[in-house]
Amino acid sequence: MATIKFNKKEVRNTFLDPGNGFARKELVLEVREDFLTGRRSRILPFRRRNISVEETSQDVIEASKKGCPFCSPQIQSSTPKFIPEIAPEGRIHRGDAVVFPNAFPYTQYNWVIVLCEDHFLPLDRFTDKILTDGFLAAQEGIGRLARNGPPLRYWSINWNYAPQSGGGLFHPHIQVVIEESPTSSHQEALTRIRGYQSENKSVFWQDYLSEEIRLGERYLGSRGDIHFLMAFSPAGVLGEIVILFSNRFWIEELTPKDCENFSHGLLALFRFFKAKHIESFNFALFAGSDETVRGWIFARLCPRMSLPPWNTSDINYFEKLHGEVICVISPEEWSQEIKPFFG
């Protein structure tokens, strides 16, 4: 097996500490580099604070119901319908999940999937069925477009949960993006996977997964063929979870059992988030490649938070303008705390 490298370096910062009579104090941080993307992140465990309980108040939730286009009965009159060539019935249904075009699209094919009738669901109230029906509804819509529309290779399923993540509505929903070319981060990953494959004559994700399982430092567990890991060089202030769909290369290859296993793993993460008072996250699932690269379906999930005491954003200049994330907890430490939730 080719060598997967986990590159990091220590940086030491020394100053005179006003909290200890201006004695010399040294802090140690790590600069890590993601082997696949080359993205760097900075691990600053001394910046970690206890996450305060900031659950959304019932008054705010009730106020947000007014005019919510995803609640019944407004969903019937306030959301777009598909053109007949994609869905003659107007909207695609599976269980309580409803799929329809985004009224404010980011690209030619951009859909919304409302997951349930509840206007707001705390993380501990999501179920396997709600999540599985939502992902299977997305798969059905993508399949219909593949049969009746232009040949598009690249798909993503995306979720901003709660306002801290940029979610515009409380009502639980995810979005599908379908394009003829990958987004920037997906393109970067595929380009490097292609280079790795050419150099090593092996599948990158298989080598990466095998090495993480061997090390056991960041591997969280699996549900069937779906594997959950902490990212070595995370993309979020509270770390990043990488989810790998072993030997699944196309969205059509996902079985209902795969979607159920995926949902079951997400629920384990949600239980951990709830225990840690984490109330928001960003999520993206990437699928699609071409004949030159064997790219598994994979997903990335970043917990989000507002920093106490002023509800400050967790995105700062380092991430937004320098392209490097400040992470306040070691992925290895976080991994040890999450593993029990995977049993």
pLDDT digits (tens, 9 = 90+) for 82-114: 999 999 999 999 999 999 999 999 999 999 999
In a domain, 2, yes or no: no
**Which distant-in-sequence residues (6+ apart) come within 8 Å of 337 by Cβ?**
272, 276
* Total domain count, the chain: 2
Question: Is 109 in the same domain as 32?
Answer: no
In a domain, 4, yes or no: no
Question: Is 14 in the same domain as 157?
Answer: no
Tokens found for residue 171: 């009502």
**Which distant-in-sequence residues (6+ apart) come within 8 Å of 65 by Cβ?**
71, 119
Question: Is 16 in the same domain as 163?
Answer: no
Question: Is 192 in the same domain as 225?
Answer: yes
Question: Is 87 in the same domain as 35?
Answer: no
Q: Return the SS3 of 2.
A: coil
In a domain, 3, yes or no: no
CATH number at residue 219: 3.30.428.10
Stronger pLDDT, 3 or 176, i.e. the higher one:
176
- Domain hosting 32: range is 9-47
In a domain, 83, yes or no: yes
Question: Is 97 in the same domain as 148?
Answer: yes
Question: Is 173 in the same domain as 300?
Answer: yes
Query: Angle at which helices 256-275 and 128-148 pack, to 10 degrees?
Result: 140
Q: pLDDT, tens digit, for every residue of 274-329?
A: 999 999 999 999 999 877 888 999 999 999 988 777 778 889 999 999 999 999 99
Question: Is 23 in the same domain as 82?
Answer: no
Question: Is 108 in the same domain as 161?
Answer: yes
CA distance 254 to 251: 6
Question: Is 38 in the same domain as 180?
Answer: no
Question: Is 41 in the same domain as 179?
Answer: no
Asked whether the predicted pLDDT for residue 50 surpasses 90, the reply is no
Average pLDDT, integer, range 225-254: 96
Compute the mean pLDDT over every residue in the chain, rounded to the nearest whole number: 93
Q: pLDDT, tens digit, for every residue of 55-85?
A: 567 888 899 999 899 999 999 999 999 999 9
In a domain, 227, yes or no: yes
Question: Is 43 in the same domain as 171?
Answer: no
Residue for token pair 């599985």: 132
